[in-house]
Amino acid sequence: MSTSLRNNSAVALAAAAFVLLLAGLTLAFYWVPNAPVEGFRQRIFYIHVPVALTSYACFGWAAWKALRLLWTRERRYDLESYTAVHMGVIFGILTLVTGSIWARTSWGVWWSWGERQLVLFLVLFLFYSAYFMLRYSVEPGPRRERMSAVYALFGVVLIPVSFMAIRLAEGLIHPVVFDRDPSDNLAASQLTTFVVCFAATLALAASLYVNELTGKRVDERLRELREALT
């Protein structure tokens, strides 16, 4: 795999991400009109939701790579799955942060158990943090790869199951303190902005993913070469 700058499609991806991000943020903060009820604060929605969806996409991608690993036993999928989980966690943290900011600006609290997305991401954050603990405490090798893959699959199944649980818990266990205004259908301008922002976060995630994966593969190759020499 080439890492020379000239041939690198990763650079094109990074450039695309940069452009999309710039476009998205501009649209979100300057172009799209204020939301009717919430006003200016609502704009964080254009960051928060795309980031959340991208996080799901990363975890889904990780699960897909995990499945491929178990299926074909090809070891390269392990790094791909691991990197995808890493991206998912990064975007998950971003989701929690932006969600918390949104809660603060909307209702004056930094956290609300009634916010389903927020609670779900907290659970997922715990789950995937344990993924890293698992990886750190098992020696590298085929065993660790398979265990990580199985765990990543469990994660992706946990997403809908947790969501159901959180919905069930609403009202009975967690108090529903604040109600978000049921969104009316997004106006065309809002939809456009959202789509651009979503594309931007996906591109950003993809770019970071490719970047990190390349770095890890280079590390691996270096290690192999070093061993071959000794």
Partner 1 sequence: MIRARGLGRSFGTKRVLRDLDLDVGERDLLVVTGPNGSGKSTLLALCAGLLAPTAGELEVGVDRGRVGYLAHEPLVYRELTALENLELYGCLYRVPERRERIGMLLERFALWEARHERVSAFSRGMQQRLALCRTLLHDPDLLLLDEPYAGLDEAGAALLDAELGALAGERTLVVSTHEPERVAALATSRLALG
Partner 2 sequence: MNYLSDVGALARKDLRLELRSRDTFLSMVLFVVATLVVFSFSLPAGTAEEASYGLLWVALLFTAILGLTRAFAAEREQRLLDGLILAPCDRSAIWLGKAIAVLAFLALAEVVALPAFALFFEPVTWEVVAAVVLANLGLAAVGTLLAAMAAASRARELLLPLLLLPLAIPIVVGGVGASISDDPGRFLGFLGLYDLIFAILSWASFEYVVTE
| Residues of the shown chain interacting with partner 2 in the complex, contacts defined by CB under 8 A | 70, 123-124, 126-127, 129-130, 133-134, 137-139, 141-143, 146-147, 149-151, 153-154, 157-158, 161-162, 164-166, 168-169, 172-173
Residues 6+ apart with CB under 8 A from 227: none
136 near partner 1, judged by CB under 8 A: no
- Give whichever of 16 and 169 is closer to partner 2, judged by the CB atom: 169
C-alpha 42: how far from chain center: 21
Of 4, 137, 139, 172, which lies in the binding site for partner 1, with binding defined by CB under 8 A?
Answer: 139
Of 36, 142, 160, 175, which lies in the binding site for partner 1, with binding defined by CB under 8 A?
Answer: 142
Whole-number Å distance between alpha carbons of 65 and 84:
9
Whole-number Å distance between alpha carbons of 139 and 215:
21
Work out what residue 223 binds among partner 1, partner 2, none; the CB cut-off runs from 5 to 8 Å by kind: partner 1
Work out what residue 19 binds among partner 2, partner 1, none; the CB cut-off runs from 5 to 8 Å by kind: none
Q: How many residues bind partner 1 (CB under 8 A)?
A: 6
C-alpha 178: how far from chain center: 26
Smallest gap, in angstroms, from Cβ of residue 79 to partner 1?
Answer: 14
C-alpha 45: how far from chain center: 16
221 near partner 1, judged by CB under 8 A: no
Whole-number Å distance between alpha carbons of 114 and 130:
25
Segment lying near partner 1 (by CB under 8 A), choices 32-40, 45-53, 124-132, 139-147: 139-147
74 near partner 1, judged by CB under 8 A: no
Work out what residue 140 binds among partner 2, partner 1, none; the CB cut-off runs from 5 to 8 Å by kind: partner 1
Length of the chain: 230
- Give whichever of 39 and 175 is closer to partner 2, judged by the CB atom: 175
Smallest gap, in angstroms, from Cβ of residue 60 to partner 2?
Answer: 16
- Give whichever of 102 and 151 is closer to partner 2, judged by the CB atom: 151
Quickly count: other Cβ atoms within 10 Å of residue 73's Cβ.
11
Alpha helix stretches (DSSP H) within the chain: 9-26, 45-72, 76-107, 116-137, 142-169, 188-229
223 near partner 1, judged by CB under 8 A: yes
Residues 6+ apart with CB under 8 A from 88: 55, 56, 58, 59, 62, 128
- Give whichever of 128 and 198 is closer to partner 2, judged by the CB atom: 128
- Give whichever of 4 and 137 is closer to partner 1, judged by the CB atom: 137
Whole-number Å distance between alpha carbons of 71 and 77:
10
Whole-number Å distance between alpha carbons of 136 and 82:
12
